[in-house]
Amino acid sequence: MLGINLYPNALLLLPSYALMQTYAIFKYQLFNLRIVLEKSIIYSVLIAIISIAYLAIVLTAEKVLQSILGYQSASISLFAAFAIGIMVIPLRNRIQALLDRSLFKGTQPEIAAENALLRQEIAQSEKYKTLSTLATGIAHEVKNPLTAIKTFCEYLPQKLDDKEFLLKFSRLVGREVDRIDGMVHELLDYGKPAPLSLKETDIQRLITDTLDILSNKFLAHHITVTCTLDPKPCTLKIDPTRIKQALLNLFLNAIDAMPGGGKLTVTTRIKGIKDYRNSDNPSNPLPLYSSNPVFEISIQDTGCGIAAKDLPHIFDPFFTKTDHGTGLGLTITRGIIEQHGGKVSIRSQVGVGTEVRLEFPYSD
């Protein structure tokens, strides 16, 4: 119809259909397989049509150009067809990209449904992983105290008249039962945190009060405490009991990290202040904040530090490198901070020490 004889060259495109179909299947194998199988044939046919149309456009344009310029040289015809082909390639690629998006990306509802399914599968996977970790940790934490109690119970009938043994037995049973009871309470905290009882609290006073509670422990472990507070009074709307629990966990961890003594440095500051601007009353300057100011607490020890390979796991339930404790302390601490809209970050270097930073949203 166009005066161009495509036979038999067009037949060369037929074997490419199978290759195009295979390409489509492999390229989109991560999508729903049913969609690929249903649409790959359509894709192959349309790509073939695009290729034929592309060839027809190039040859037709070359014939038109030849009739206008009147050249007869085969080499000039070949060069002209090549040049026209290069100029038309962007249009061909654009049409093919549009075809890709139309056939294999799906409609917005389909994409939303697939994304929702993916998120559900990820959440389910994380849930099973957490349950597995919890089950393993619970079994380990309960087994140790029960083994100790069982061992003493086996000797009990033979040593009913041994007062020293009975005294050790009563102490051990009480200690191990308390250990299990503490773990159960921590599990309850982790599994179903109590609702927060928020109140305006002087956070810096809460920090110093918590340090005072542990003052005897610091002395016993030869730990020097340095506390540097932001000069500006800071009141946050928090649950003081829960925040004190989080701070106690972190301070006790620092003590455990320095069995031979060391230095604990606690620093607070309000991050986000750019400068001060005067209000109507020059004697009462108001702070000017950048976006999202935060109240930061830094807790830094000079202990043994945490290995780089362990840092990604320190918030995992039951992850611990000590012989005592359940490994739930940091997990619960992070939960408490995040309940308050804050975040926890940890930096550590083996042999140097560890720094824990807590950040809370702040508004004056």
Predicted confidence (pLDDT) at residue 249 exceeds the cutoff of 70: yes
pTM over 0.75: no
Query: Worst-scoring range by mean pLDDT, 28-32, 89-93, 215-219, 333-337?
Result: 28-32
What is the tens place of the pLDDT at every residue in 40-59? 666 666 667 767 776 777 67
Predicted confidence (pLDDT) at residue 25 exceeds the cutoff of 60: no
Mark 7-21 as b/e (b = at least 16 C-beta within 10 Å): eeeeeebeeeeeebb
Query: Worst-scoring range by mean pLDDT, 79-83, 200-204, 269-273?
Result: 79-83
Q: Which CATH number fits domain 199-361: 3.40.50.720, 3.20.20.70, 3.30.565.10, 1.10.220.110?
A: 3.30.565.10
CA distance 186 to 332: 8
What's the start-to-end Cα distance of the chain, in Å? 80
For the chain, give the percent of residues with pLDDT over 70: 57
Q: Which of 193, 156, 191 is nearest to 172 (CA)?
A: 156
- The pLDDT of residue 135: 62
Q: Which CATH number fits domain 127-191: 1.10.287, 3.40.50, 1.10.10, 2.60.40?
A: 1.10.287
Residue 355, token pair as written in the block:
């720094």
DSSP strand E in 245-306: where? 262-277, 286-301
What is the tens place of the pLDDT at every residue in 302-319? 999 988 888 888 887 766
Name the residue with higher pLDDT: 220 or 96: 220
Q: Which of 234, 178, 223, 179 is nearest to 201 (CA)?
A: 234
